[in-house]
Each structure stands twice: as structure tokens, then as C-alpha cells.
């Protein structure tokens, strides 16, 4: 770390109430990096803890600590001695910080785990890399799968990865992984029987109780043609680089700060701390709307991540669609009232029981009714009705909006497509997610509409026959 | 008729409530005793071999004797100091053996590790005298600071080579928190002893003994203890190669403290955690610990043999059967196995108590 010379003794004093009273520059620099200053409470966590212990016990403490510096961890030998009304600190930086092991993020392992969750056929090999299990369930394979006992190298021809400009790439990840009994991913491999077929292999090592490598289990997925194999309208979000682990981290990293932005912007626009100029109030309201929009997008991405997992399933329970429609309408009543839009929910006593997952149906209905409210003109009406036939129960959401051109009826169910392009409202994922959820529950969402005639969305689900 | 203050107080605090408070206090007191006793005799998965129990008792007695002496000397020459002297030598040691519940888990846990390190050290072949130990190591290194640090460590370990009679004082070179606990234990035993045996009012004894104990604590410097010195040596080793060489030497000389300190540094855990893995950990964990230090097969075997006296769970011949498994263990796998032990101490402790993952 800059300005922290090795072997020099750095000194400082801390008062009885924990404030840094004097400090040599390197110590002050640590304090500043941690958000404190001279005269404020010592905020370098590991030092502050030892200062408290020494002060409380009245005893000299001398031990090594690791302090998080701006760029890297610093290993210090710390001596803290109680003096009068405070403590005296002496620090010595001991050795080159490069020798300190940092917790490394194992990106290869993360990528391998991510690849395991993607589509493709599964394989398992023993320590000699001979196939032991091959499973193509749930994926389309138009060539012969390996025989049990066949060596992996006899079935596949491993291909060097081409490094991208300036980015070092492990040319044979499988061999590197096997050599270190580590996970691997992104190993390109050709079928020896048909070299036009290229796969990307990812694998995780398996160990016995004694920690010995027993083999690998992994996924083989077609290399570079993921989009071609997807059903229309269901292209992967981001091509091959879509990574559910990354999406999950993004979700956690964004939701909290966005929530704070919304809360603060609301409190400013609500003038909770006193009157403000009207243009500032309007800016704050804009910020709140934009942040809420981003928050919805994060929610949608989280849902997208969940439903795109190969093992995604929805619970099957008995639900009353009429009851759920009333609840969803109730949730949107205030938003509708802002535009003087009336929502006509199913009447008391109406019932339409289906087999589906309660919260997922509610989510779909909020999306459908929310869209209806969003695209309806002021002073209009949204109808929510339930119906059932012998096999299916349904909810119909109809509005008096501008309607949808029949040519766009399928487009609006694709990712990032909106009912009205460039309207800036919503993430463009709502209908896509709703339809995927409906299908996961054995149902469907369809639309009937024409320009100028309003829209009629229908959610159908298997009827409960109890 | 006007109610007196006492009457009001009696109504506010009726006998039943007072009794309830007494019972609650007794339950709490009893619980603490039960907990301490549990900690003394059975710290989770810890094993107590006869040798380890005896050595721990010797370290406890020796340190307590030293602290009692220090408090007495600190009190100077007054009537109270003379009354303390009249309690007899090593009063605290006798008293604590009658009230073991007074010992905190922190103190017992540390003394157990210290005793284990002493026992293992004593089983090294040849038991070299301090002069011969300091010589070769200091001569081997051209790093003056490292040489000095190693010599200081050897000097602090020197008293451990000989079994300690329980009636002698032993240098109480303990970590700060443990030392404070020991001093306040001794002070409490003295106050209690003065009241019970000499009829000294505790109100008179507590201020003087408290001041003396605080002065003893203020003079203590944990930097001079063997644990701190071992950590310091590990800290100033120039690079991994030098650390590997020192670890190898420590394994052959049964220097558990230095070995644990170097391993702790490498795995980013405390020396106490590293010692717990070596003393109480299973064979896989010990092998992993040795592997991250790149110990050779024979150094690993030497380590296992040295630890035998504190574990006593396998004959020496069976210990050697573990070496082939060790040969198959890679440093990466070893580090992976130890990663879960490098979290915050309190978290690891709690999980261990929940039987979630034993060392």
C-alpha cells in the first residue's frame, strides 16, 4: 500500500471514547479509507476491535491483524497499550502484501455450474474418462450418443479454444480441469463421427469419501447454435453469455439500492422534510418513477431467471380464479382510480376453480390487469370475468384501449416486446413471463384484439375436478 | 394511618416476588456453573487423554501460582497483604480445585491447547536443550530479525520441556483475554478465601485486591507469550518457500505452535483454530493441514506420531497407514477442505456446538 513503509513503526493514540486523536499519515490514511477522519471514532474494524478489548481489559495487546486497504489487504503487527485515558497504537507492516492470499472467486467453477443448468445432454465419466452414464432426456439429439465404457476421447475430438483479442483463454479447459481435479467449462469438442457437430463441454469433478477423484459429471450442449434450437419467440436472453448466477447476483445487488432510491425520492417528492420548489418535487417524482421501473425490471429478470431453469416447475394446488381475480383487481384499484378507470371484478359468489400455483396465478393476473389499466384511456372500464368449461377454467381481462393489430398478437409475448413499442412503460418481459408461467401450469394465455377495439386477454388453466 | 416507606416497599416487592428473584438468581447461577463444568470436562468433541488432563492441570496450577504471587507482591506490605500471605502458598490452586466451576471455558480451552503443545514438544526425539535449539536455527537463517524471533520463541517454550510440579509457579505468558480471566479468577478466590478463612470483610478486601490485580494486568504484555511469538515468526517469514522450510522443521521437532502458526497464516485462520484442527480434528483435516504446508511424507508421519500423546486414538503403526492417503491429497483439495474453517471464529464455534461440522 502506498505510504505504508514496511518495518517502519506507525503510531497513533485513541481516546477513551474511541476517537483517533493522533496518527501518523499511514494510519490516518487507513482511517480515511474506512470512512473516518482525524478526531472521529476509529473505524478500521480490526483495529477498533482490539482498541476496545485493550481499553476494556486494561491490558496490552500485541498480535497480527489483516486490515483491508484500498487496493489490497495489509498484514500488520499491532501493539495496543492502555495509557491514561486512552490507548496508544503502534503498527508495523510486516511483509509484502503480494504474499497474502486473497479469497479468489473461482470463475471457472461458477461458469461450469452455470453451464450445468443449461440445456444439453448429460454425461458422467469415470476417472479414466470413460462414459458411465449418458442421459439425453429433455433435449433433442440427432446423432448417436456415446456407448457406456467408450472413452470420452474416442467419442469427442477436443478442440483448442480460440482466444479473443487481448483475453487469455485456457485452450483446453478439460485437460486443465482434469489435471487439477477442478471444474471446467467451455471445452469445444467435435464429434469424431461427424465433425460438423460441435459441442461445448462443462464438467464438475466427483470425489469419494476420502477426497479422491472418481470422475466427472457434465453437460454437452451444441456450440454456437443455441438460438437455432430454441422455439420461436423463446430465444435466450443474452445468447451464450446469459448466466443465471450473474443474474442472481445482479438481482441482489440492484434491488436494495433501487428500493432506497424509490424511498428517498418518494420522501422528497412528498416534501416530508419541509416545502420544496415545485420543479424539485417534480424531479424527485420522476426519479421515483424511473427507479420503480428499474425495480420492476429487476423483479422480472429474477422471474425470468427462475422460469428459464430447466428444472423449473410450478406447484399444483386448488385455486379459485374468481377470488384471485378480485385480489389482483384490488391491488390495482388505486392505480386505476388515478386515471378514473373502473375495474369490474367478478361478483361475489362467482367461482372458477383450477389446479395451479396460487402466487403464480396472482402474478399473471396482476400483469394482465395492470396492462389493461396502463393502456386504457382515462374514464374507461376494465372487465375481469371468470368462466369454466369441462376441462379448463379461465379468466378474461378486457379493456377499452387502442387494441392490438392481429399481426402483433404473437410478437407481444416475446421477450422485451411491448404492447406499444417505445412507450417506455414496463420491461417488456411481463407477458413473456406470464405465458411461460401459464404453460408451466398446463395452461395458456391468448389474446383477441384488433386496432381500435380494445383487447381481450384470456388465461386458461386446467379445471379442478373435485 | 399513613403507610411507611418500608410498608410501601414491602407492598411493591412482596415476599413472593423476592423469593422468585432468589430462585431465578439461583437457577442462573446454577446454569452458569453447569455450563462451566460442561466446558471444563467436555468442550464439544474434545478428547481428554490422561496425559493431556494432567498437563492442563499443571499449566493451570503453575499459572495460577504465579498470578497469586504477583498479586500478593503488588499489594505491598500492609495488613491485608500479610493476611493474604497467611492463607498459605498456592492457596488459589487449592481453592480452584474445590471450585472448578469458576474456570471459564476461554481459560480452560487455552490451557488445554498450551498443554497439548507442551506434551507434543516433549515427545520430540532427543529433547534438545535450549542452547542447541537456538543455535542451528539462528545460524541457518541470514535474516537477523527471523533469527531473533525464533530464538525468542525457543526461550518461551523452554520451560515446557520439563514436566511441571503443580506447586511451582509457571510464567503466565498467556494471551491478554485469557490472562485477564486468570487474574480475576485468582483475585476472586483470594477475596473469598479471606472472608471464609480469615473473617476479612469483603468490602475491605475487594478495593485493595482489585487494584493489585488491575496493576498486574496492566503490566502484562502478551507479546512475550509463546503463542504470540509463534504467530510473529510466521508473520515475518519472507515467502512461502521459507515458510515451508520452517514448517518442515517444526513438524520434525514437534513444535506444534510454530507449525500451527505457519498453517494458520497460510489458511487465514487463527492459531487457536489451527491448533484445534491438529489436536481435535479428524485424520482428513490433519492431512489437509499438513498438505497445505507441503510437509513431506516423513514429516507428516512425525507430526502424527507427536500428536499421538494428546489424541491417543490410534496406535503408531496404524498412524503410518494414513500416509498413503496423504500422498494422494493435492494441495488444492487440502485448501478446499480447510476453507470452511477459515471463517469468523464465533461462527465456526457456534456451528461446531451445533454439531454441524466437527473439527
What residues of chain B, 232 to 271, have a C-beta less than 8 Å from chain A?
Answer: 232, 235-240, 266, 268
pLDDT of residue B186: 96
At A396-455, the pLDDT tens digits run: 999 998 888 888 888 888 877 666 655 556 667 788 888 988 988 899 999 998 888 889
pLDDT of residue A241: 39
pLDDT of residue B174: 96
Q: Is residue B147 within 8 Å of residue B133, measured between CB atoms?
A: no
Q: Is residue B222 within 8 Å of residue A61, measured between CB atoms?
A: yes
On the question of pLDDT at B224 being above 80, the answer is yes
Compute chain B's Rg from CA coordinates.
24
Residues of A in contact with B238 (CB under 8 A): 95
- Say whether residue A79 is in contact with chain B using an 8 A CB cutoff: yes
- Distance, in angstroms, between B11 CA and closest chain A CA? 40
At B233-252, the pLDDT tens digits run: 999 888 888 899 999 999 99
Binary contact (A95, B236; C-beta < 8 A): yes
Q: How far is Cα A90 from Cα A80, in angstroms, rounded to an integer?
A: 6
Q: At CB < 8 A and 24+ separation, what contacts does A199-208 make?
A: A199/A120, A199/A156, A199/A223, A200/A115, A200/A224, A201/A156, A201/A174, A202/A111, A202/A112, A202/A115, A202/A116, A203/A112, A203/A174, A203/A177, A204/A112, A204/A113, A204/A116, A205/A177, A205/A181, A206/A124, A207/A181, A207/B333
Q: How far is Cα A91 from Cα B288, in angstroms, rounded to an integer?
A: 33
At B323-348, the pLDDT tens digits run: 888 988 888 888 888 887 777 777 77
- CA separation (Å) from B225 to A62, A357, B154, B220, B235? 10, 64, 11, 10, 15
A74: closest CA among A136, A25, A27, A123? A27
**Local structure of residue A377 (DSSP, 8 states):** P
Interhelix angle B271-280/B226-236, nearest 10 degrees: 110
User: What residue in B sits closest to A55 (Cα-Cα)?
Assistant: B218
Q: Is residue A319 within 8 Å of residue A352, measured between CB atoms?
A: no
pLDDT of residue A115: 66
pLDDT of residue A219: 87
pLDDT of residue B72: 92
Residue of B218, B228, B325 lying closest to A59 (CB–CB): B218
Q: How far is Cα B293 from Cα B334, in angstroms, rounded to an integer?
A: 10
At B144-160, the pLDDT tens digits run: 888 889 999 988 998 88
Burial of B128 (0-12, 13-18, 19+ CB in 10 A): middle
Residue of A59, A64, A101 lying closest to B217 (CB–CB): A59
B161 Cβ contact partners less than 8 Å away, ≥ 6 residues apart: B121, B122, B127, B130
pLDDT of residue A234: 42
Binary contact (A59, B240; C-beta < 8 A): no
The three grid cell numbers given for residue A93, joined into one nine-digit string: 507492516
Supply φ then ψ for residue B270, to 5 degrees. -80, 160
Residue of A60, A63, A181 lying closest to B333 (CB–CB): A181
Q: How confident is the model at residue A235 (pLDDT cuts 50, 70, 90)?
A: very low
Three-class DSSP category at A157: strand
- Say whether residue B354 is in contact with chain A using an 8 A CB cutoff: no
- Say whether residue B323 is in contact with chain A using an 8 A CB cutoff: no
Where are the alpha helices (H) located in A339-401, listed in sequence order? 358-374
Supply φ then ψ for residue A171, to 5 degrees. -70, -35
- Distance, in angstroms, between A67 CA and closest chain B CA? 13
At A177-201, the pLDDT tens digits run: 777 677 888 888 888 888 888 888 8
User: What residue in A sits closest to B336 (Cα-Cα)?
Assistant: A211
- Distance, in angstroms, between A20 CA and closest chain B CA? 22
- Helix or strand run (H / E) with residue A73: strand A73-83
Supply φ then ψ for residue A199, to 5 degrees. -115, 160
What residues of chain B, 94 to 133, have a C-beta less than 8 Å from chain A?
Answer: none
Percent of chain B predicted with pLDDT > 90? 39
Q: How far is Cα A443 from Cα A463, in angstroms, rounded to an integer?
A: 10
Q: At CB < 8 A and 24+ separation, what contacts does B209-216 make?
A: B209/B71, B209/B75, B209/B80, B209/B84, B212/B71, B212/B72, B212/B74, B212/B75, B212/B187, B213/B71, B213/B74, B213/B183, B213/B184, B213/B186, B213/B187, B214/A58, B215/B74, B216/B67, B216/B70, B216/B71, B216/B74, B216/B183
Burial of B273 (0-12, 13-18, 19+ CB in 10 A): buried
User: What residue in B sits closest to A79 (Cα-Cα)?
Assistant: B223
Give CA angle at B236 (B230, B240), nearest 5°. Answer: 100
Which residue is listed with cell 486494561? A58
On the question of pLDDT at B275 being above 70, the answer is yes
What residues of chain B, 158 to 217, have a C-beta less than 8 Å from chain A?
Answer: 175-177, 179-180, 214, 217
At A152-164, the pLDDT tens digits run: 888 998 877 654 4
A399 Cβ contact partners less than 8 Å away, ≥ 6 residues apart: A372, A373, A375, A376, A380, A381, A382, A383, A454, A455
Q: How far is Cα B259 from Cα A131, in angstroms, rounded to an integer?
A: 43
Three-class DSSP category at A367: helix
B63: closest CA among B164, B210, B177, B190? B164
Percent of chain A predicted with pLDDT > 90? 17
Binary contact (A211, B222; C-beta < 8 A): no
pLDDT of residue B33: 41
- What's the distance, CA B86 to chain centroid? 30
pLDDT of residue A252: 57
Amino acid at each position: 500500500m502506498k505510504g505504508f513503509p514496511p518495518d517502519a513503526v506507525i503510531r497513533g493514540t485513541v481516546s477513551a471514547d474511541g476517537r483517533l486523536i493522533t496518527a501518523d499519515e499511514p494510519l490516518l490514511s487507513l482511517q480515511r479509507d474506512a470512512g473516518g477522519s482525524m478526531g472521529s471514532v476509529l473505524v478500521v474494524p480490526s483495529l477498533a476491535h482490539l482498541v476496545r478489548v485493550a481499553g476494556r481489559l486494561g491490558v496490552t495487546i500485541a498480535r497480527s491483524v489483516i486490515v483491508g486497504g484500498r487496493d489490497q489487504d495489509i498484514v500488520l503487527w499491532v501493539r495496543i497499550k492502555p495509557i491514561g485515558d486512552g490507548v496508544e497504537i503502534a503498527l508495523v507492516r510486516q511483509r509484502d502484501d503480494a504474499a497474502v492470499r486473497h479469497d479468489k472467486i473461482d470463475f471457472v467453477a461458477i461458469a461450469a455450474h452455470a453451464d450445468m443448468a443449461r440445456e444439453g445432454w448429460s454425461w458422467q465419466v469415470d476417472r479414466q474418462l470413460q462414459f458411465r452414464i449418458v442421459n439425453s432426456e429433455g433435449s433433442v439429439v440427432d446423432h448417436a450418443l456415446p456407448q457406456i465404457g467408450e472413452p470420452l476421447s474416442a467419442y469427442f475430438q477436443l478442440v483448442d479454444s480460440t482466444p479473443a483479442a487481448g483475453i487469455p483463454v485456457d485452450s483446453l479447459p478439460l485437460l486443465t480441469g482434469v489435471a487439477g481435479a477442478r471444474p471446467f467449462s467451455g471445452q469445444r469438442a467435435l464429434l469424431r463421427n461427424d465433425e460438423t457437430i460441435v459441442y461445448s463441454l462443462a464438467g464438475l469433478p466427483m470425489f469419494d469419501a476420502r477426497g479422491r477423484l472418481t470422475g466427472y459429471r457434465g453437460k454437452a450442449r451444441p456450440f454456437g447454435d443455441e438460438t437455432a434450437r430454441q422455439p420461436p419467440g423463446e430465444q435466450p436472453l443474452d445468447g451464450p453469455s446469459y448466466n443465471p448466477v450473474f443474474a442472481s447476483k445482479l438481482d441482489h445487488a440492484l434491488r436494495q439500492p433501487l428500493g432506497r432510491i424509490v424511498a428517498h425520492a418518494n420522501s422528497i417528492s412528498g416534501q416530508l422534510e419541509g416545502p420544496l420548489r415545485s420543479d424539485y418535487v417534480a424531479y424527485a417524482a420522476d426519479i421515483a418513477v424511473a427507479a420503480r421501473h428499474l425495480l420492476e425490471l429487476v423483479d422480472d429478470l429474477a422471474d425470468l431467471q427462475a422460469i428459464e431453469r430447466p428444472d423449473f416447475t410450478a406447484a399444483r394446488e386448488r385455486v379459485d380464479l374468481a377470488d384471485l381475480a378480485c385480489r389482483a383487481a384490488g391491488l390495482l384499484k388505486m392505480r386505476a382510480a388515478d386515471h378514473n378507470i373502473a375495474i369490474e371484478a367478478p361478483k361475489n359468489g362467482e367461482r372458477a376453480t383450477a389446479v395451479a400455483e396460487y402466487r403464480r396465478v396472482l402474478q399473471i393476473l396482476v400483469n394482465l390487469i395492470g396492462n389493461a389499466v396502463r393502456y386504457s384511456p382515462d374514464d374507461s372500464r376494465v372487465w375481469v370475468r371468470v368462466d369454466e368449461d369441462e376441462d379448463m377454467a379461465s379468466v378474461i381481462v378486457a379493456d377499452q384501449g387502442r387494441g392490438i393489430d392481429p399481426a402483433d398478437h404473437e410478437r407481444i409475448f416475446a421477450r422485451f416486446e411491448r404492447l406499444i413499442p417505445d412507450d417506455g412503460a414496463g420491461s417488456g418481459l411481463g407477458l413473456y413471463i406470464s405465458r411461460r408461467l401459464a404453460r408451466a401450469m398446463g395452461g395458456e394465455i391468448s389474446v383477441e384484439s384488433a386496432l381500435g377495439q380494445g383487447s381481450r386477454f384470456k388465461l386458461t388453466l386446467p379445471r379442478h375436478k373435485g | 394511618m399513613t403507610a411507611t416507606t418500608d410498608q410501601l416497599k414491602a407492598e411493591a416487592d412482596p415476599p413472593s416476588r423476592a423469593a422468585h428473584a432468589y430462585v431465578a438468581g439461583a437457577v442462573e447461577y446454577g446454569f452458569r456453573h453447569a455450563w462451566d463444568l460442561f466446558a471444563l470436562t467436555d468442550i464439544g468433541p474434545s478428547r481428554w487423554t490422561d496425559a493431556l488432563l494432567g498437563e492442563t492441570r499443571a499449566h493451570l496450577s503453575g499459572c495460577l501460582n504465579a498470578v497469586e504471587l504477583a498479586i500478593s507482591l503488588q499489594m505491598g506490605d500492609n495488613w491485608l497483604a500479610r493476611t493474604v500471605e497467611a492463607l498459605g502458598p498456592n492457596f488459589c490452586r487449592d481453592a480452584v480445585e474445590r471450585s472448578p466451576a469458576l474456570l471459564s471455558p476461554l481459560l480452560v480451552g487455552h490451557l488445554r491447547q498450551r498443554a497439548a503443545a507442551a506434551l507434543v514438544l516433549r515427545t520430540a526425539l532427543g529433547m534438545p536443550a535450549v542452547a542447541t535449539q537456538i543455535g542451528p536455527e539462528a545460524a541457518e537463517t541470514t535474516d537477523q530479525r527471523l533469527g531473533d524471533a525464533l530464538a525468542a520463541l525457543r526461550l518461551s517454550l523452554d520451560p515446557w520441556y520439563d514436566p511441571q510440579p503443580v506447586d511451582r509457579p509457571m510464567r503466565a505468558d498467556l494471551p491478554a483475554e485469557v490472562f485477564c480471566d486468570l487474574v480475576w479468577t485468582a483475585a476472586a478466590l483470594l477475596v473469598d478465601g479471606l472472608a471464609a478463612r480469615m473473617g476479612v470483610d469483603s468490602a475491605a478486601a475487594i478495593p485493595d485486591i482489585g487494584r493489585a490485580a488491575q496493576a498486574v494486568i496492566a503490566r502484562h504484555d502478551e507479546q512475550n507469550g509463546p503463542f504470540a511469538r509463534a504467530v510473529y515468526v510466521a508473520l515475518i517469514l519472507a515467502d512461502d518457500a521459507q515458510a515451508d522450510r520452517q514448517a518442515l522443521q517444526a513438524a520434525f521437532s514437534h513444535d506444534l505452535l510454530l507449525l500451527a502458526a505457519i498453517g494458520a497464516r497460510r489458511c487465514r485462520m487463527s492459531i487457536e483454530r489451527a491448533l484445534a484442527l491438529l489436536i481435535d480434528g479428524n485424520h482428513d483435516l490433519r492431512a489437509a493441514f499438513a498438505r497445505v504446508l507441503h510437509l513431506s511424507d516423513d514429516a507428516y508421519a512425525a507430526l502424527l506420531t507427536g500428536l499421538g500423546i494428546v489424541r491417543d486414538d490410534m496406535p503408531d503403526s496404524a498412524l503410518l497407514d494414513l500416509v498413503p492417503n496423504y500422498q494422494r491429497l493435492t494441495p488444492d483439495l487440502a485448501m478446499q477442505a480447510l476453507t470452511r474453517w477459515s471463517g469468523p471464529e464465533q461462527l465456526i464455534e457456534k456451528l461446531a456446538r451445533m454439531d454441524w461440522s466437527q473439527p
